[in-house]
């Protein structure tokens, strides 16, 4: 989709449809004075009252160049989400045959923030997870224009930033949507390498032999049941000038390309969705793609431990004891708690690579979905200042997170009579004990764990986003790095 920021008067915009936002209990903007009689009729009939995501279309208006005028409900101004409104409009109008859509950015808006958000919303809304369909594909826009009456370099930069973030998020969504017979761990490594080459980033792939030499027994234990070899993917961004500080941000993402649960096998119902168990890994790859174009002044490295958790004659068994990269031993009580086993070796390796601050993203537990549903990411930390940075970045990018506890009392849940710790902590507080397990392997390094099991996949389409992978965390990670 062609995406442009244009500067011209409202009535000169040439498009299949031009859209403007109306808010509850506020008069229509001056640009829509020509349509006041139509708007009054809509309000009187109750067809349109400017509630969130309401839409009305006026065909063939005589006073403007566009073929249609679309008015979008913004609800109450203080709760308006421009990103979602733009996505909603794109998804609604592309189904009606609109190919070129324009969005009016009024002078009364938030300027650069609006330009960034509307670009993100439009690109995200236009995405469809249909790359494997051969017919009857969803309709798509050919072009989206954001239009302002006043120009400025700040607006241009913000709009381009929005394009970068949304395209990187869609890159992540495309990876997550790939079935496991297409996207094996080594294919994921190939995709990462190709992206790194395209973006001018360094990429290094540790194969099974190298991981064995290093002593990544926890990661390799998960991988041993599959015929698909594992990979530890590293993609590195280095600032062109002198780094802003000695800090080095490490982004670690769980990369289980398919999760059967292993010997502790999952129920058949819903198992097909387990291709999304690499959504954390895809998110850090999408983020480093965006970071390469936004160019923050700190080094950032993405780490993706990529494995397939399968059932086979060599599969890891409940009761097995593995030795992790940092030397601690783990009793594997449940082979379906595999994500934490691959993450601990990746977190330790990230520390050895000089990362001073760590954030991991993982579809880690069903327990976080019980706690927070499909709305908030669960956020855990050993460092409140680091968590504050992540939460601020998430708020700026409209990604919801909720601070979850990591009290010392929960640590006892992981006791093992036969190893340094067990890989599960029992039924209660499962998301917390999983986070505590990871915490055991980061020492004092400032670290945030994001459990995205409830937010990385949409079981039903939203008005502003297609069913399937959401690409959550890409924008937050990019904002975190650029705002460091």
The per-residue pLDDT for 244 is 76
Inter-residue contact 310 to 261 (CB < 8 Å):
no
The per-residue pLDDT for 136 is 66
193 classed as catalytic? no
Active-site pick, 68, 100, 340, 475: 340
**Residue range 7-12: mean pLDDT, rounded:** 95
Residue 155, Cβ density class (10 Å: 0-12 exposed, 13-18 middle, ≥19 buried) = buried
- Is residue 138 scored above 80 in pLDDT? no
DSSP tag of 312: S
Class of domain 178-482: alpha beta
Query: For residue 48, what pLDDT band results from cuts at 50, 70 and 90?
Result: very high
Inter-residue contact 216 to 345 (CB < 8 Å):
yes
The per-residue pLDDT for 152 is 82
- Torsion, Cα of 103, 107, 111, 113 (10° steps): -50
What digits encode the pLDDT tens for the residues 403-433? 999 999 999 999 999 999 999 998 899 999 9
Which of the two residues, 81 and 25, has the higher pLDDT score?
81
Active-site pick, 266, 293, 323, 328: 266
Which of the two residues, 306 and 138, has the higher pLDDT score?
306
With a CB cutoff of 8 Å and minimum separation 6, the contacts of 473 are 280, 283, 284, 287, 361, 377, 399, 450, 452
What digits encode the pLDDT tens for the residues 191-208? 999 999 999 999 999 999
What digits encode the pLDDT tens for the residues 220-241? 999 999 999 999 999 999 999 8
What digits encode the pLDDT tens for the residues 430-462? 999 999 999 999 999 999 999 999 999 999 999
Ranges of beta strands (E only) in 254-299 are 255-259
**Could you tell me the residue ranges of all domains in the chain?**
2-148, 178-482
The per-residue pLDDT for 150 is 83
- Is residue 29 scored above 70 in pLDDT? yes
- Gap between the Cα atoms of 412 and 398, Å rounded: 35
Query: For residue 149, what pLDDT band results from cuts at 50, 70 and 90?
Result: confident
With H, G, I as helix, E, B as strand and everything else as coil, classify residue 326: coil
CA-wise closest residue to 450 among 437, 430, 435: 435
Q: What is the CATH number of domain 2-148?
A: 3.40.220.10
With H, G, I as helix, E, B as strand and everything else as coil, classify residue 253: strand
Percent of the chain having pLDDT more than 90? Answer: 94
H or E stretch at 274: none
CA-wise closest residue to 19 among 47, 61, 79: 61
- Is residue 399 scored above 90 in pLDDT? yes
**Residue range 129-148: mean pLDDT, rounded:** 89
Inter-residue contact 77 to 55 (CB < 8 Å):
no
With a CB cutoff of 8 Å and minimum separation 6, the contacts of 78 are none
266 classed as catalytic? yes
The per-residue pLDDT for 110 is 87
The per-residue pLDDT for 85 is 96
Query: For residue 109, what pLDDT band results from cuts at 50, 70 and 90?
Result: confident
The per-residue pLDDT for 213 is 98
The per-residue pLDDT for 441 is 98
What digits encode the pLDDT tens for the residues 268-280? 999 999 999 999 9
**Residue range 292-296: mean pLDDT, rounded:** 97
């Amino acid at each position: 989709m062609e995406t442009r920021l244009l500067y011209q008067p409202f009535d000169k915009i040439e498009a299949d449809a031009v859209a403007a936002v109306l808010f509850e209990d506020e008069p229509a903007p001056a640009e829509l004075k020509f349509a006041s009689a139509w708007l009054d009729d809509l309000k009187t009939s109750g067809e349109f009252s400017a509630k969130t995501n309401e839409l009305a279309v006026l065909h063939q208006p005589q006073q403007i160049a566009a073929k249609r005028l679309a008015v979008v409900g913004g609800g109450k101004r203080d709760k308006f989400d421009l990103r979602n409104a733009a996505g909603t409009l794109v998804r609604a109008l592309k189904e009606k045959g609109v190919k070129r859509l324009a969005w009016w950015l009024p002078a009364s808006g938030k300027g650069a923030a609006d330009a960034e958000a509307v670009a993100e919303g439009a690109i995200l809304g236009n995405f469809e997870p249909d790359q494997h369909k051969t017919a009857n594909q969803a309709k798509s826009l050919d072009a989206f224009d954001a239009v302002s009456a006043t120009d400025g370099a700040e607006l241009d930069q913000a709009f381009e930033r929005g394009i970068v973030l949304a395209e990187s998020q869609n890159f992540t969504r495309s990876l997550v949507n790939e079935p496991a017979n297409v996207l094996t761990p080594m294919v994921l490594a190939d995709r990462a390498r190709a992206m790194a080459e395209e973006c001018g980033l360094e990429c290094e792939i540790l194969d099974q032999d190298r991981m064995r030499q290093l002593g990544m027994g926890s990661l390799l234990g998960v991988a041993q049941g599959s015929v698909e070899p594992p990979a530890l993917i590293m993609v590195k961004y280095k600032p062109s000038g002198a780094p802003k500080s000695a800090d080095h941000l490490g982004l670690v993402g769980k990369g289980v390309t398919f999760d059967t649960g292993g010997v502790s096998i999952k129920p058949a119902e819903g198992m097909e969705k387990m291709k999304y168990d690499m959504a954390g890994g895809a998110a850090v790859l999408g983020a480093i793609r965006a970071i390469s174009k936004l160019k923050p002044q700190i080094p950032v490295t993405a780490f993706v431990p990529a494995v397939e958790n399968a059932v086979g004659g060599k599969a890891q068994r409940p009761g097995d004891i593995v030795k992790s990269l940092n030397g601690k031993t783990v009793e594997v009580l449940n082979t379906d708690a595999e994500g934490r086993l691959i993450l601990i070796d990746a977190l330790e390796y990230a520390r050895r690579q000089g990362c001073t601050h760590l954030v991991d993203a993982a579809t880690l537990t069903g327990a976080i979905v019980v706690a927070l549903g499909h709305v908030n990411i669960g956020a855990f930390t050993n460092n409140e200042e680091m968590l504050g940075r992540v939460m601020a970045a998430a708020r700026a990018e409209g990604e919801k997170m909720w601070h979850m506890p990591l009290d010392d009392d929960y640590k006892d849940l992981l006791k093992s009579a036969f190893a340094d710790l067990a890989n599960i902590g029992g039924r209660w507080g499962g998301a917390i004990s999983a986070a505590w397990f990871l915490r055991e392997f980061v020492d004092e390094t400032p670290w945030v764990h994001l459990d995205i099991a409830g937010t990385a996949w949409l079981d039903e389409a939203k008005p502003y986003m297609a069913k399937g992978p959401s690409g959550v965390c890409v924008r937050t990670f990019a904002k975190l790095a650029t705002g460091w």
